[in-house]
Structure 1
Amino acid sequence: MASAAVPPAPTLDIADLTAQRVRAPAEFLVTAPDTTLDELPLDGFRPLTGRDVNQGISDRAFWIRMRLHNSGNAPVHWVLSHETTYLDLMTVYWVDNGGQWHECSLTDRAPFDKRMLDYRRLAFKHATPPGGSTTLYLRLAYEKPDSVSLNLDLAEAGRFADQSRREYALYGLYYGAMLVLVFISLAGAGLLRQWLFFQYAVFLVASALMWALLNGFAFQFLWPQSVFWHNEGFHILYLLMAASAFQFSRGFLRTRQRFPGIDRAIRCVQAIMMLGILMRFAGFYEPVLVLSFVGLLSLILLAPLGFWAYRQGQHYARWYAIAWVLYGIGLALGVISAGTPWLHWGMDSLVFAQAAGVLEALLLLVALGERLISWDRDRRMALRMAHQDPLTGLNNRRGMSLVYETFRQRFERTGLPVFLILIDLDHFKQINDTYGHEAGDQVLVDLADLLNRTSRPADVCIRYGGEEFVLLLQVPSEAVALDIAERIRLDFAGTPTEHEGRAIRHTLTAGIAPVFAADVQLSPSQMLRDADRALYQAKRQGRNRCRLYQGPSRHTS
């Protein structure tokens, strides 16, 4: 401006300027959006303090004035930048030494390369002559209602450059860590075929894009020509991040199976968020602004949901809950700072929220790993239960093929022969008829305990069905296998079962067959057939005895 009288402005000495936040004696004023510099009520300005920084959501114009005095002997080059990356308009009016007024309009409503400085935030650069002064009037405004911060940073140009380099390096660490986590999650999705890892990756990408937009890097590096995405993408990405967080949480906490009512509520919330995204593309602004803030705040509820799931037996949910406590608090503080004047630290809470986001992502990866271990443990337990006899705790006949393959591989590796001992209780029906089925069950349990005590860790005991048991073992010869069967028979016959004060005497008969040896390679059906033939011969000879299979010297599978 060329003709306006220079209004009085409070003075800041910048001879020894390094870097500082703009505060009193700088002053501020709130006016209608269309108020010009000539129309300012100069007596309405008041000192800018920390309590005035957060102005909540507003469509008003905010003015800041100050006089920068250089008492030194050399010009001071300085940079004035706004705290946020989403400020629409920063108009700078300045005059040096009471001369001609100048005007510079900085805006994010133009492509990134139109900016005065190649910097992620709107910034104004100037030099105050030695012994002189620069009077500044700044107008901060938005084209639509948005969250207003009056935080401005004033820094000597060299210090500003150094701070910018450190700042970009720190942010680079954040985005590098997020990129590594996305790669790990996608690798987990592909290698482990776990859809949950892909949902985690989607959440990480949405979260990183949201922060890239808030940090200004998306506009600077990803879409520098897209004014629409820089200005309108905030609320879209807020909602997308929140929706993806809920989707990941549904899968991680298995809400559909464990908490069906909560799951239905989450799906309704996600549908509203998707509708909000469509509304934003359709041109609606303020309803989507409010909805996006509410969506981010709703993520706080994921922490208590995680703790509830933990108390319901999902032990891996503890890391999930802790992760969302940290991130939820950070996001809540950021939303409160942006949407209300209640807090007085500007947008500094976003730094905490973003740092908490990295820690949250790491804790969620730990939770995913623990959940995967838990899932594998449950799967193994289910398989074990499926192959386990419920009465005796031994393997059942379903596991025979798996056991057979294990012993075949051992034989190929060691060359040590494998034998099958097929055991049948003598006159078991008579025991049931005389003492009752509970007594019969106790006899079966005692035999199973005897087999467990007698066998070695590498041997496998199976309840094959009814009163029949199988013992698979590797020993050097038929004689050793027969000796083991004899010891089992004698021990069982010499140890009656105690049931309800009565001693139940019992015996067993066993047939032994080689399974794998130098000249023997039997299939599962063949080994059972040979052992059953030996068992049948032992029974014909009077029971309570063990017999080796006597047949052809070689079998092939």
Structure 2
Amino acid sequence: MVMIWMFSIRFFCLLMLGVTALCMPAQAAPLHVNSTTQIYELNSVVEHLEDKSGQLTINEIRDTESSLQWLISRKSNPNFGFSQSAYWFRITLINQNHAAARLSLVINNPLLDQVTLYKYSSDKLLEAVETGDRKAFSQRPHEHLSFVFPVTVAANEPLTLYIRVSSEGSVQVPLSLYDYDYYHHYIEEQKLIIQGLYFGVLIFMMVFNLFVYFRTKAASHLFFVLYVLSAGLLLAGLNGLGYKYLWQPFTHFQQHHIAIFTALSGIFLSAFIYRFLGLQKKKGSITGRLLLIVIGAFILLLLLSTLIAYHDSVRAALLLLLVPLIIGLYSGLKKWNRDGSANTYFTLAWAQFLIFLLAVLLAKFGIIPRTFLSDDILAWTTLLQVVLFSMALGERMNGERKKRIQAQKQIIRMQGLHKKELELQVKERTAELKLANEQLEVLATTDALTGLYNRRHFLNQAQQLINISIRHQHPIAMVMLDIDHFKEVNDSHGHAAGDHVLRELSKALAMTSRQTDIIGRVGGEEFAILLIDATPSMAGMLAERLRGAVEALTIAFEGTPIPLTISAGICTKTISQKNVPVLDMMRCADSGLYQAKEEGRNRVISKPLPETQQG
């Protein structure tokens, strides 16, 4: 334990010695310039002085210069964080050449409120240039995104530059010195090309997802587009593009745009997370409630951004922005293995953005020095985040499309099964209907008691067969028969016995007749038979066979024998007779039946169809 304490003490002492060496009072060496060097290294040649009161003037600085605590800046990107102090910088340039050296002094932080450059040759003030983002953009010595000052160093004469900087925001003063022509013909153009490509990608992502939103109406895509727009405007403001090209006439807006666009980015970013994670469907979700609270806080900050101090609003916005970032990263890690590639991209976007945003915040608050990591990484990490978010949305959309396709396939499969089942049901129902129709047809065409054709159907069928026989010139005959003394059967044995007799007679008629003949019950105990292809002699033989078969029947009802005979009349027509109605033939056969009854019953009488009864 003692060894650990001794090691810690030694490390702390070495650290303090290093810090002291970096910021020790000393006289910086002058920087020798010429007409051939393009980029100058400013480490160890720049001195800075903190004016905590912010009231020192250039004359006071020069009059008390020897007694002031000037510190050599060991780095070209001095970073003092959020500070109320004013800071002075001093650089001495010496040109030992015979020709004047034209240079560009660049302060690559367009958000500094007040920047004043004083040029002294010996003890003579050559020029004082005052600028800053509180002044109109057109008043800058060079209308560049950053603060660019043209500097001419005469031959064999020293030139001392004093730079006073103050700002409500983070006081970061990245100083650079370039050859004038090299900077304006190369560095400036290179930066514009890179920024053009950068914002071109952002605009492409925004327009693409806007089209996706119009197609899908998914709110997550809309909030993503609004976030990209807000973040793009924020980045445009950070690098000076916004002030130069978008809101140059609005100097007051320039003082507050960082807080405004940070708040808007926070609002839309939180809303995007809320919709992407589907928290609107999860009632009572702690994460969802926290995001809604954060959105409300950002809205309040947005409304108050022009009323409170700039550095307070920016600090609050940046710190508040950490909340949705942490929520997004936590939610992504929690669902790492659930949503496939979409969640992977979502989580990676949060992880890298949170890491580099912390670096930016630490630089803004002066905890770490301003370097490339904190200068440009915010823009590139935002671009990477936008790309990853867009990929996450694309994967989510593809996943949902695959789910829809699977659902459609399932629906089609179910529809196929349902169709087959429906076809089977229709087939079964059709068979049932067919059977029912057949049964109805049977009921409509047959006699319920005997099973023979009823009168109406017999007449229809008989008329059709008569017409066919006439067309093909075939002989045809009609037989009308009646049960002898049927009334006595009903009176002696009852109507049930009568029905039994009618059924047994019908069976006998059906068994004795030919298959081509049709039989019908046309009255109570009266029956009609149409004989197809039957000559008069053949009709007589068939009718006599029927009579004999009935007479030979042994019919008993409840053990009581019931003798049965029939009388029959036959109507025959010649081949030459045309248009014969069935009723005419039935009347003709009926007259023969009556004659058989009159002659003693149990006999057959045949008559030809009178010529006068033709149609």
Do the structures match in fold with TM over 0.5? yes
Checking the alignment, whether the CA contact within 8 Å between 1:296 and 1:332 is kept in structure 2 is: no
Partner of 1:310, secondary structure, is coil
Deviation at 1:52, TM superposition (A): 7.6
Partner of 1:461, secondary structure, is helix
Q: Which residue of 1 aligns with 2:30?
A: 11
Residue number among 291, 312, 331 corresponding to 1:305 in the alignment: 331
Q: Structure 1 residue 26 and structure 2 residue 46: aligned?
A: yes
Q: Which residue of 2 aligns with 1:169?
A: 193
Q: Which residue of 1 aligns with 2:128?
A: 103
Q: Which residue of 2 aligns with 1:337?
A: 363
Q: 1:52-110 CA distances to partner (integer Å, 9 max, x unpaired)?
A: 82211101011111111112222111111212110111111112355445322122212
Q: Structure 1 residue 194 and structure 2 residue 218: aligned?
A: yes
Q: Which residue of 2 aligns with 1:446?
A: none
Q: Distance in 1 between matches of 2:77 and 2:395?
A: 46
Cα distance change, pair 532–33 in 1 and its aligned pair in 2 (3 A)? same
Checking the alignment, whether the CA contact within 8 Å between 2:76 and 2:175 is kept in structure 1 is: no
Q: Which residue of 2 aligns with 1:160?
A: 183
Residue number among 68, 85, 89 corresponding to 1:60 in the alignment: 85
Q: Structure 1 residue 254 and structure 2 residue 274: aligned?
A: no
- The TM-score with structure 2 as length reference comes to 0.61
Deviation at 1:317, TM superposition (A): 1.6
Q: Distance in 2 between matches of 1:230 and 1:19?
A: 31
Q: Which residue of 2 aligns with 1:328?
A: 354
Q: Structure 1 residue 128 and structure 2 residue 156: aligned?
A: no
Checking the alignment, whether the CA contact within 8 Å between 1:117 and 1:123 is kept in structure 2 is: yes
Q: Which residue of 2 aligns with 1:119?
A: 144
Deviation at 1:538, TM superposition (A): 9.5
Deviation at 1:274, TM superposition (A): 0.8
Partner of 1:153, secondary structure, is strand
Checking the alignment, whether the CA contact within 8 Å between 2:42 and 2:76 is kept in structure 1 is: no
Deviation at 1:141, TM superposition (A): 0.9
Deviating more after overlay: 58-67 vs 20-29: 20-29
Deviating more after overlay: 303-312 vs 214-223: 303-312
Deviation at 1:212, TM superposition (A): 0.4
Q: Which residue of 1 aligns with 2:107?
A: 82
Q: Structure 1 residue 318 and structure 2 residue 330: aligned?
A: no
Deviation at 1:283, TM superposition (A): 4.0
Deviating more after overlay: 70-79 vs 211-220: 70-79
- The amino acid that maps onto 1:37 is I
**Structure with bigger gyration radius:** 2
- The amino acid that maps onto 2:192 is Y
Q: Distance in 1 between matches of 2:125 and 2:313?
A: 44
Q: Distance in 1 between matches of 2:196 and 2:76?
A: 32
Checking the alignment, whether the CA contact within 8 Å between 1:330 and 1:350 is kept in structure 2 is: no
- The amino acid that maps onto 1:309 is K
Q: Distance in 1 between matches of 2:133 and 2:235?
A: 17
Q: Distance in 2 between matches of 1:85 and 1:287?
A: 19
Partner of 1:365, secondary structure, is helix
Checking the alignment, whether the CA contact within 8 Å between 1:253 and 1:306 is kept in structure 2 is: no
- The amino acid that maps onto 2:170 is S
Deviation at 1:375, TM superposition (A): 2.1
Deviation at 1:308, TM superposition (A): 1.5
Report matched runs for 1:202-221 at 5 Å. 202-221=226-245
Q: Which residue of 2 aligns with 1:39?
A: 60
Q: Structure 1 residue 534 and structure 2 residue 431: aligned?
A: yes
- The amino acid that maps onto 1:246 is S
Cα distance change, pair 182–113 in 1 and its aligned pair in 2 (3 A)? same
Checking the alignment, whether the CA contact within 8 Å between 1:20 and 1:155 is kept in structure 2 is: yes
Deviation at 1:315, TM superposition (A): 5.4
Partner of 2:335, secondary structure, is helix
Q: Distance in 2 between matches of 1:247 and 1:126?
A: 49
Q: Distance in 1 between matches of 2:91 and 2:339?
A: 61
Q: Distance in 2 between matches of 1:191 and 1:100?
A: 65
Checking the alignment, whether the CA contact within 8 Å between 1:27 and 1:66 is kept in structure 2 is: yes
Aligned residues: 404
Cα distance change, pair 260–12 in 1 and its aligned pair in 2 (3 A)? same
Name structure 2 gaps, 5 residues minimum.
Answer: 1-25, 439-615
Q: Distance in 1 between matches of 2:41 and 2:229?
A: 33
Partner of 2:418, secondary structure, is strand
Deviation at 1:531, TM superposition (A): 5.5
Checking the alignment, whether the CA contact within 8 Å between 2:77 and 2:174 is kept in structure 1 is: no
Q: Distance in 2 between matches of 1:350 and 1:38?
A: 34
Q: Distance in 2 between matches of 1:103 and 1:323?
A: 46
Q: Structure 1 residue 462 and structure 2 residue 481: aligned?
A: no
Cα distance change, pair 281–239 in 1 and its aligned pair in 2 (3 A)? same
Checking the alignment, whether the CA contact within 8 Å between 2:78 and 2:174 is kept in structure 1 is: yes
Cα distance change, pair 33–238 in 1 and its aligned pair in 2 (3 A)? same
Q: Structure 1 residue 149 and structure 2 residue 169: aligned?
A: no
Q: Percent identity of the aligned residues?
A: 18
Q: Which residue of 1 aligns with 2:5?
A: none
- The amino acid that maps onto 2:149 is F
Residue number among 212, 236, 261 corresponding to 2:260 in the alignment: 236
TM-align CA RMSD: 2.8
- The amino acid that maps onto 1:289 is V
Checking the alignment, whether the CA contact within 8 Å between 1:108 and 1:122 is kept in structure 2 is: no
Q: Distance in 2 between matches of 1:88 and 1:27?
A: 21
Q: Distance in 1 between matches of 2:314 and 2:220?
A: 30
- The amino acid that maps onto 1:92 is L
Partner of 2:334, secondary structure, is helix
